[in-house]
Every structure is written in structure tokens, then in C-alpha cells.
Amino acid sequence: MAKKQFKAESKRLLDLMINSIYTHKEIFLREIISNASDACDKLCYQALTDESVGMNRKDFKIELKVDKENRLITVSDNGIGMDKDDLENNLGVIASSGSYKFKQEVGDDAKDTDVIGQFGVGFYSAFMVADHITVVTKKYGSDTAYMWQSAGADGYTITECEKDTVGTDIIMHVKPDTDDEKYSEFLESWRLQELVRKYSDYIRFPIRMEVSKTRKKEDSPDDKPEYETYTEVETLNSMVPIWQRRKSNVKPEEYNKFYRDKFHDYTDPQRVIAVSAEGAVTYKALLFIPGATPYDYYTKEYEKGLQLYSNGVLIMDKCADLLPEHFRFVRGVVDSPDLSLNISRELLQHDRQLKVIAANLEKKIKSELVKMMKDDREGYEKFWKNFGRQLKFGVVSEYGAHKDLLKDLLMFYSSTEKKPVTLGEYISRMKEDQKYIYYASGETLDKVDKLPQTELLKDKGIEILYFTEDIDEFCAQTIRSEDDKELRSILDQEIEEGAEKKAEEASDAHKSTFDFVKEALGDKVKEVKASARLKSHPVCLTAGEGLSFEMEKYFQSVQPDSTIKADRIMELNVDHPVFQALETAVTADPDKAKKYAELLYSQALLIAGLPLEDPSGYTDLVCELMK
Ligand code: ADP
Ligand code: MG
């Protein structure tokens, strides 16, 4: 029997497979099992219209066999089978192989990409682990069985052979181990079980394999038990994916268990989102909002993405493209029959479908979070604690491109409610003549609460949002305003219209005092002026428009030698007795007035949480004035 050559491009793909440095060689089993499942599907479909098939859905199965001694793995199905032409056309050419086309398009860059393993590569992937493959097959309705044999690149042979039943056996002779590759692991039954569960758990036909087990010998005494091994044929796959079931038929415990097992989490998910979409793209998705922040969530280690299936067959473990960055905490699975296992069927279109799914899921996640905020506030607050920071980053990222989507989900601590509130809730409580949404930043809630600048507004019963995370002010600057209400920092911006003007008048009235202080402090401060934001405190520092002190601290923390500094504007409370003492000293005892100025500046730094430039100089000054 003459050997036939593979078509040229098939040959090159084969080459790619055989010499693949690709680490996910294990996917070969998924490919072979998927083909077996397809073959069962085909005959099952035919049985619907052709009574002579005489088979039912439940009669189909896929069997795995391992022969360690001879290094053989056999995958058998009782599906449609192949005749001689089918063998020529289907296994002799890889015309449909997208992996090859892909490789051609991207050239050598593809060498290290995951594409080969993440998308279907079909039958030929078996050559990654097998040096010789035999296919024994008999097509439904045909009397003759055929054997196809190939040892890879040098071609294949087809001969007639004996086979009683309709269907196909794929017999793979596993390569010998090398220093780098231990192919023998694929001859271990536990390893094959693991692979079936990982990639083919939701194949809708049973995948059966003889597995060995141990049990206590029946006649052995209980206190001195003896064990024996025996074998039993087991179905390895669970067949029906939980996401294919109607949500109303699944108990919450079942979802929780699925989530914990699948994503290795000890905590139950906080929210389960089941999506079933038909239309432009058909898919099912089962998404989870974790109940706790993964320990590595805010590190580089954490990998976002959803598991992607096509008809129950795993295509990709973490498909990052399905989740926007701001929802990267979401875990789950997406299953779409529209995605082919094989990227051959148009890489581009494939891409477009993924995009449609991703866009729908983003909307879905957002609306679920909004719903949760309304119907389970406590739950939402917990969620916010776990992942709120991520949403704030989302607002700031990409120049605020996602702020409209995300801003209703944000919460900030409220001075009057004593808990996190949304901007919408804040606005609903605003005083009639209140123009702005006020916020104040600091390290902790307690520290912000004690800032002198908060006193005046608190006195008037006006709500203030307390910002305690470094990202908060960046977030406010990105959002700028909500519902026409501008966000304003009570530390740095004008609090009320006209307030600045009044303060300016006060500054003019006490001009010589302010000039004196500015002169005494020199470059340390940009400006010294009367304050419109103080009540019982004598002094505070503001940064004016632009960079705030919290931002300055943030930059300092990420880059200790950062020279990015906020402006320092010193504001004095002209109604405070300390100001009067200062003013008196300016004329009566300028030396002392200079010291007062230093003292007040240092105090202002301390309150703003900024480091003193000269701590011992400050304490000396306090002591001196006490004497
Ligand atoms: P794909 O599955 O994407 O078509 P493959 O390379 O995996 O590509 O398989 C090529 C073809 O070989 C299949 O389309 C099918 O026609 C045939 N084939 C492979 N395995 C079997 C099988 N177990 N039974 C019947 N036909 C098969
Ligand atoms: Mg296939």
C-alpha cells in the first residue's frame, strides 16, 4: 500500500505540532474527545429521521482505554464513523485549520503565542504526544471498515480492516519520554481523568473509562482489614453544565458549590448572575461576584478573565477580553455554540462575537450591581468594601472613558449618615440653597472629621463626603460634577459663592499683617490670606486649585524623591483671638510676631498631615513662647 503525502500546508501544520514547544500538549485529548462527541452528535441527528439507525441519544458513548505496556491511548466512539473518502478528506488535509492560517498571518511572532493551545487545533494535535496514530473506523451504513495510519510528516496509509461496530477508534501511540517531556504521564489514568474533568466535563455523552480502585476484602476482619484492587468502568464527566440549567431549577447551594469548586474559593459568592442570550450571538453565562477579595487581587499575580466554552468544551481558561478592567473581580463562565473550537472559522468574526458578548456582560454586571444596591444595601456595602477601590480606579482610568457607566456605583463616607453613600443620595439630601457637593480628604475618617475646615459646614448641618483613599480625589476630579452639582473640596476650593470675596475684603482690611506674615515665611508659602472656611481654629493650609495635599502625599508615597508639590496657601481666621494677638505683635514686637507666624505655619502643616520642615525648631519655639 503506497503511502500518501499530506497536502503541503497540512504538512507544515503537522510539523508545527510535532515539534511544538507548546506547553499545553494536554489539549490533544480535548480535541480527540470533541471529535468523538461531534461524531455521536451526527449519528444521533441522523437517527431522528432515519429509523434504521435504531439508536437513542442515551445509547451513545465515548470510551477511553489505556495500555501502559504498549504505550497506547484509545478513544472510541460509536458515532457516525468515516469511510475511505472521509478519511482522505478529513484527515489527509487540514484545509480548515485556522491555527495554520493564523500562524501564516502573524508569522514567526506566533511562535510563543498561546493560540495553538487555546483554540481548537483538531485532530493533528494528537501528534504533540503521539508518534504514531491509527484510526480504525466504520461509517454508518457501510459494510467496510478502514484503517488509517500515520507516523506524522511522512504521510499516511489507508487499508481495509475488520471492525464489527459502527464508529471510530483513535489509537495513539505515546512518544517516549525525553529529558524535557514526560509523555508517560498521559498513560496514567488519573491524569486522563483530570484532563477530562478540566476540558471535557460538559460533553453531553458519557466519557467512560475503566479505573482501578481499592476496597476492603470482604472476608478480612475489621480490626485487621486487608485490601484488594478492582476495576470499574466509570463515567468521568458530569455532562450537564450548571449554566445550561434554568436558574429557577438550580438551588443556591448548587451555585455556591459550583463556584467554590471551580474557582477555588472558600467563601460563597455574593451574587450569582445567570445570563441567557439569544440573537446576534447566542450564549449562556454564569457570573459570580466573589464574597471576599482574593488575597492576590491587587497584585500582578491576579489574572482576570472568564472561562470560555463552546458547547461545553473548554476553549480558554481565562479569557481576559470578556471582562473590562473595572469589573475584573467578576468570575464565571461563558458558553457559546457560536464560537467554534477551531479558530479556522474566521478569526475576525470570532473576535467580533467575543466583543458583543463582552459588551453585553458589562451592561449586565452594571445593572446587577445597581439592583443589588437597591435590594440588598448591606450586601452592596460589603461588595463595596471588597471591590470599591477597583471601581474608583475604573472611573479614573483611560481618561475617564468609563465614568458615566461607573459613577452611580460609587460610594463615599458621609459626615451626616456615618456610612458610605452614593452621589445620588447625597444630592437628594442637599439643602435648598446648596450649590456644591462637598468633600474633604485625609488619611482616616477620624482625621478628616477633625480638620478645622469641616467645622463651619458641619455647624450648618451640611453633609460632607470624607475621602480617605488616595484614589478618591482623582476620582472626584474625573467626575467633576454630578447632576449639574460640582464636586468641591472644602479644603482647597471656595466653599460658597461670595465667601471668597468677603475673605478678600478681610485680607485687605488687615493687609499689613498678612504682608508681614508672608514676608516672615518667605518661599514656604505661596500666599497668606484671610480664611472663609474656619470657625474655632486660627489657621489652615489650602492648596488652591490643582494638586491637593493628599495627591502630593500620594505621589510622594509612590516615588519618595518626587518633587511634585501642591501650593501652600496659608489661611488665617481673622475673627480668632490668636489673629488679634498676632496683629498686635506685628506693630508692638515684630520679632515675636515672626515667631508667631512660624508657629502658626507649623501648626497648619501638622493639621494638614504634612511633615514639619524643622520639628525641633518648632518645639524650641513653643517652649520659648511658654517661658
Ligand atoms: P474539526 O473537528 O474542527 O472539523 P478536526 O481536525 O478535529 O477538525 O477533525 C477533522 C475532521 O475529521 C472532522 O471534521 C471529522 O469529519 C473527522 N473526524 C475526526 N475524528 C472523527 C471521529 N471520531 N469520528 C468521525 N469523524 C471524525
Ligand atoms: Mg475537532
C-alpha 39 – ligand 2 centre gap (Å): 10
List, for the chain, all residue ranges whose pLDDT scores fall below the cut of 50. 21, 95-103, 106, 108-120, 342-349
pLDDT, residue 366, reads 97
C-alpha 146 – ligand 1 centre gap (Å): 15
Grid coordinates belonging to 29? 485529548
Are 125 and 27 spatial neighbours (Cβ–Cβ below 8 Å)?
Answer: yes
Gap between the terminal Cα atoms of the chain: 113
Q: Is 36 touching ligand 1 by the criterion CB < 6 Å?
A: yes
Question: What is the residue whose three cell numbers read 442515551?
Answer: 58
CATH number for the segment(s) 411-489: 3.40.50.11260
Q: DSSP 3-state helix, strand, coil percentages of the chain (rounded to 5)?
A: 45, 20, 35
pLDDT, residue 37, reads 92
- Which of 16, 29, 38, 133 for mutating ligand 1's site (highest number of atoms within 8 Å of CB)? 38
pLDDT, residue 22, reads 55
Handedness of CA 40, 45, 46, 51 (dihedral sign): positive
Cα radius of gyration rounded to whole Å, the chain: 36
What is the rounded distance in angstroms from the CA atom of residue 152 to the CA atom of residue 422?
Answer: 64
CATH topology of domain 11-235: Heat Shock Protein 90 (3.30.565)
pLDDT, residue 116, reads 40
- Which of 40, 90, 344 for mutating ligand 1's site (highest number of atoms within 8 Å of CB)? 90
The CA distances from residue 523 to 307, 518, 539, 553, 592, in Å, are: 58, 8, 18, 20, 20
C-alpha 86 – ligand 1 centre gap (Å): 9
Q: Atom 19 of ligand 1 has which residue's CA nearest to it?
A: 35
Q: Per-residue pLDDT tens for 226-235?
A: 898 999 999 9
pLDDT, residue 99, reads 42
pLDDT, residue 216, reads 87
What is the rounded distance in angstroms from the CA atom of residue 304 to the CA atom of residue 297?
Answer: 9
Are 98 and 343 spatial neighbours (Cβ–Cβ below 8 Å)?
Answer: yes
CATH 1.20.120.790 for domain 507-543+567-626, yes or no, is yes
pLDDT, residue 348, reads 40
Question: What is the residue whose three cell numbers read 517516549?
Answer: 176
Q: Is 60 touching ligand 1 by the criterion CB < 6 Å?
A: no
- Ligand 1 atom with least separation from CA of 340: 3
Tell me phi and psi for residue 435, to 5 degrees. Answer: -95, -30
Helix (H, G, I), strand (E, B) or coil at 138: strand
Question: What is the residue whose three cell numbers read 456595602?
Answer: 381
Residue of 438, 456, 480 whose CA lies nearest to 540: 456
Are 573 and 499 spatial neighbours (Cβ–Cβ below 8 Å)?
Answer: no
C-alpha 90 – ligand 1 centre gap (Å): 6
Question: What is the residue whose three cell numbers read 476495576?
Answer: 231
Q: Is 80 touching ligand 1 by the criterion CB < 6 Å?
A: yes
Q: Atom 14 of ligand 1 has which residue's CA nearest to it?
A: 90
CATH topology of domain 242-379: Ribosomal Protein S5; domain 2 (3.30.230)
Are 392 and 429 spatial neighbours (Cβ–Cβ below 8 Å)?
Answer: no
Q: Atom 7 of ligand 1 has which residue's CA nearest to it?
A: 122
Are 43 and 140 spatial neighbours (Cβ–Cβ below 8 Å)?
Answer: yes
What is the rounded distance in angstroms from the CA atom of residue 136 to the CA atom of residue 120?
Answer: 23
Residue of 188, 148, 153 whose CA lies nearest to 168: 148
Give 555: exposed, middle or buried? Use CB within 10 Å, 0-12, 13-18, 19+.
middle
Q: Is 17 touching ligand 1 by the criterion CB < 6 Å?
A: no
Delimit the domains of the chain by residue range: 11-235, 242-379, 411-489, 507-543+567-626
Q: Is 82 touching ligand 1 by the criterion CB < 6 Å?
A: yes
Q: Is 311 touching ligand 1 by the criterion CB < 6 Å?
A: no
pLDDT, residue 205, reads 94
Residue 353 CA to chain centroid, in angstroms?
19
Are 423 and 437 spatial neighbours (Cβ–Cβ below 8 Å)?
Answer: yes
C-alpha 460 – ligand 2 centre gap (Å): 72
Grid coordinates belonging to 50? 432515519
Are 4 and 92 spatial neighbours (Cβ–Cβ below 8 Å)?
Answer: yes
What is the rounded distance in angstroms from the CA atom of residue 218 to the CA atom of residue 206?
Answer: 31
Helix (H, G, I), strand (E, B) or coil at 60: coil
Grid coordinates belonging to 524? 514656604
Q: Atom 20 of ligand 1 has which residue's CA nearest to it?
A: 35
